Amino acid sequence: MNSPIRKVVVTQKFFDEEAIALLESKGCEVDIATLPEGKGEADLDVDDICQLLAGAGGWIVGHARVTREVLEALPDLAIISRRGVGYEKVDTVAAEALGKVVTIAAGGNNDSVADQVIGMMISLGRRYREAQIAMNAGKWNILVGTELFRKTVGIIGFGRIGRSLAQRLQGFDAEILVCTPRLASADIDSFGLKQVDFETLLERSDYISVHAPLTPETRHMIDADALARMKPSAAIINTARGGLVDDRALLAALQAGRILGAGLDVFESEADPTMMPVTEALIDLPNVIAAPHSGASTHEALQRTNMIAAQCVVDVLDGKVPSMGQCVADGRK
């Protein structure tokens, strides 16, 4: 069996010198791709990708769609290393069938996303965006807000980010409710938290933060009915994936004043451009704190995920099991 080709193409922005140095120290040729003019990584089509990755054995990728067609057209490609924690944009079944490895940079962005959630909660409760809009209009009247201290916070999903968030919330003396199908009650009890059903979490929480993967089962888990069960004084935070929240239903609830507000780092329009008018209407609301899917984009988190992605590439090209991150598909025989 021939040794894997050690050319590594990086199509993500902000890939730092330390990660490049790691790859080069292990005999890899690193190509920081120049994307076609006017295109971001998510806009790359099959032809674009094939031109950029010609002769590559490793690919460090973020938002591009890695389809079976792409994988079949790149026979030299041994590893697709996502600098992120989701893998729904990668056809992992095709990767397995075609003998390729897919990894994610699990553990690299927990802290940055958890920090973002805390910031959104405080900003919504204290009405910072509303106050600044009013001040810009010359109205300096005080808007009375609410504290995060000793509030009830519901966490949907209790993976790495959910746990990092729970650790931070304990500093606010918050009551933390957890709803997750993936962990036994004992796992959550060991954190000193309460596991509840979905309906209880919706009805009791002052803040709800969604940290579930996007699957057919979780799509629109926060729909019009779920929003109607929330307290009028409660806020919803989604930093996980667009599609977990029904954005149309959320917009209607916010416009009607049925909930306090929303913190959104992800939107349905990311995968469905026809939803952009809904996104634009959401981010225009004074009680919405919005970001452009940037929860993992701190200097520190990018350095961590770059190194994890790079180490995964090195390990696979060396014929090893990845020592960092998480391997989500391994088609090697």
Position 200 pLDDT exceeds 60: yes
Is residue 270 among the annotated active site residues? yes
CA-CA distance, 12 to 40, in Å (whole number)? 9
pLDDT at position 86, please? 81
pLDDT tens-digit series, residues 172-182: 999 999 999 77
Helix, strand or coil, per DSSP, at residue 138: coil
Position 183 pLDDT exceeds 70: no
| Catalytic member of 220, 258, 270, 332 | 270
pLDDT at position 168, please? 97
Is residue 293 among the annotated active site residues? yes
CA-CA distance, 113 to 180, in Å (whole number)? 19
| Catalytic member of 6, 241, 268, 304 | 241
Global pTM exceeds 0.85: yes
Sorted by where each starts, the structural domains of the chain and their CATH numbers stand as 7-108+298-330 (3.40.50.720), 110-290 (3.40.50.720)
DSSP 31-88: EE--PPTT--GGG--HHHHHHHTTT-SEEEESSS-B-HHHHHT-TT--EEEESSS--T
| Catalytic member of 126, 229, 293, 332 | 293
Q: What is the mean pLDDT of the chain?
A: 95
Position 185 pLDDT exceeds 70: no
Confidence bin at 2 (pLDDT 50/70/90): low
pLDDT at position 1, please? 47
pLDDT tens-digit series, residues 245-273: 999 999 999 999 999 999 999 999 999 99
pLDDT tens-digit series, residues 107-137: 999 999 999 999 999 999 999 999 999 999 9
pLDDT tens-digit series, residues 60-97: 999 899 999 999 999 999 999 999 888 888 999 999 99
CA-CA distance, 245 to 221, in Å (whole number)? 6
